[in-house]
Amino acid sequence: MRRIEETLSLEILVTRLENVDTFYLLFAGSLVFLMQAGFAMLCAGSIRAKNVQNILLKNLLDACGGALGFYSIGYGLAYEGGDDSSGTTFIGTENYFFHYNLDDHIGWFFQFAFAATAATIVAGTVAERCKMEAYVCYSFFITAFVYPVVVHSVWDSHGFLSVFNSDPLSGVGMIDFAGSGVVHMTGGCTALVAAIVLGARIGRFADQDGNPLDEPMVFKPHSVSLQMLGTFLLWFGWYGFNPGSTLGITSIGYGDVAALCAVTTTLAAASGCVGALFISYVATQVTIGEEVLDVSMAMNGSLSGLVGITAGCSTVQPWAAVVIGLVSGLVYFAASKTLIYLKIDDAVDAIPVHFASGIWGCIAVGLFADPTLVSAAYDVNKGGLFYGEGNLLACQVCGILFIIGWVVALTTPFFVLLKTFGYFRVSALEELVGCDLSHHGGSAYDIKGPPGEVVETFEMDRKSRADNNGRSIQSIGSHRTHIRDDNHSNDSGDHTHGEES
């Protein structure tokens, strides 16, 4: 009887611990999903006011298309690779919509939030000129097939790049703790291909007749306030993105790993902001002779630092996170200027933030990974190049090349087909008047004045009141003048009488 009671007590304890882990993932996944609001605000603030409704709807549809695509096909491709004896597989083989057998609901929810993030990255790059139907198509395509295969290769225990594989590549595999490569490189590389195929916005690098401009036209963001709000929401959401990737909190050591992730995430974001702001300040001082503190550079620099630390947040020391963040800011600045030089139009600089900094983040793990921290997070005693080992760096490079090759191979023909059949880009007239007017019935902001007849009536009333006030003042002035004249006459009379006396 006592043994039965002990067994039941142990089962209850295990169940409660599992419930704690479930709540932890629910909380972390909710933070990651909140990043959708961050992307929406950042994108809306970064573009012109005539396209705000359009980009907001696209961000909403990212979440919708991501949920349906990842539920119906994507999750099964990403994580269901059969039992442990099946060895290395290219994709999963179970749990699709048409033979649904999913029992890890919280796991699906957390991973869905990541999939939606990968799709959202593309929205800002192609803003102001991409058709809505094209956006829905590629949002579903990314979350249902492109992204899940990358996930399976790096994160699933049957993936050929996975650290968790029974026979990992070079004895270690690719370390990408929360997705510098899996999420951000995938989304950023897709955005790069889309931007090249779609082409630049009218007036960015050439006029309406196609004649090249001497200097690229800068389309100012319509709301820096929304940009800043989006940046802080994304930074906040990253605390679910990185620490939450422990996938639990009750196992021994997981709390320490999550705490380290929070610290490295914070430091990298801060140093990334400083790095980008500093190099931008120096560059403007040298090139145009002005000392400009570019707020957009600072915001994107912090996001670049967050992307850069995402792969190694659990495996690098805090001091290394500062270095990684600083370099991320410099990488962002260089990549942003390179895009302009190549005349590739990225409306919100998502490609430099996510693709370029994502590449650097994966490489940084191969340089700065501390063997002690790698062992704590992965139970693998391997380190980066600065700790005397080169296998991890080689695996990171292999992972980078695979992600680029896979994404380019799939998305290039996809976007070319959309463009060929006229489903990718809005017409020139629709682009010039703005997607809000051409697709959504009007502007996001009600900036129209009152009707003309109301204004005319008000002006007449104001003029009438002004005339009445003027007459009143004139009357008061005349009355005072009359009083002064009377007083002057009396004074004169008294003076004369005095003299006569």
pLDDT of amino acid 472: 58
- For the chain, first and last CA: distance in Å? 136
pLDDT of amino acid 2: 59
pLDDT digits (tens, 9 = 90+) for 43-94: 999 999 999 999 999 999 989 988 999 988 899 889 865 555 557 888 877 6
Torsion of CA 66, 305, 324, 114, to 10 degrees: -10
The answer to whether residues 272 and 308 touch, using CB atoms and an 8 Å cutoff, is: yes
441: left (phi over 0), alpha (psi -120 to 50) or beta: left
The tokens for 48 are: 């012109």
Beta bridge partners of 206: 212
Q: What is the b/e burial string over 12-37, where b = at least 16 CB atoms within 10 angstroms of the residue's CB? A: eeeeeeeeebbebbeebbebbbebbb
pLDDT of amino acid 96: 65
| Identity of the residue numbered 332 | Y
Q: What is the b/e burial string over 332-347, where b = at least 16 CB atoms within 10 angstroms of the residue's CB? A: bbebbeebeeeebbbb
Q: Where are the alpha helices (DSSP H) in 82-201?
A: 105-125, 132-141, 147-154, 186-198
Residue 478: what are its φ and ψ, rounded to 5°? -65, -40
pLDDT of amino acid 493: 47
Number of residues in the chain: 501
412 Cβ contact partners less than 8 Å away, ≥ 6 residues apart: 193, 197
The answer to whether residues 391 and 171 touch, using CB atoms and an 8 Å cutoff, is: yes
- Residue showing tokens 């980009």: 55
Q: Give the integer Cα–Cα distance in Å for 246 and 457.
A: 67
The tokens for 358 are: 């994502």
The answer to whether residues 248 and 24 touch, using CB atoms and an 8 Å cutoff, is: yes
The answer to whether residues 174 and 396 touch, using CB atoms and an 8 Å cutoff, is: yes
pLDDT of amino acid 89: 83
pLDDT digits (tens, 9 = 90+) for 297-308: 999 999 999 999
Counting as low any pLDDT under 70, the low residues of the chain are 1-8, 80-86, 94-102, 449, 469-501
The tokens for 331 are: 């990488």
Average pLDDT, the chain: 88
Q: Collapsing DSSP states into helix, strand and coil, what is residue 212?
A: strand
Beta bridge partners of 404: none
This prediction's pTM: 0.87
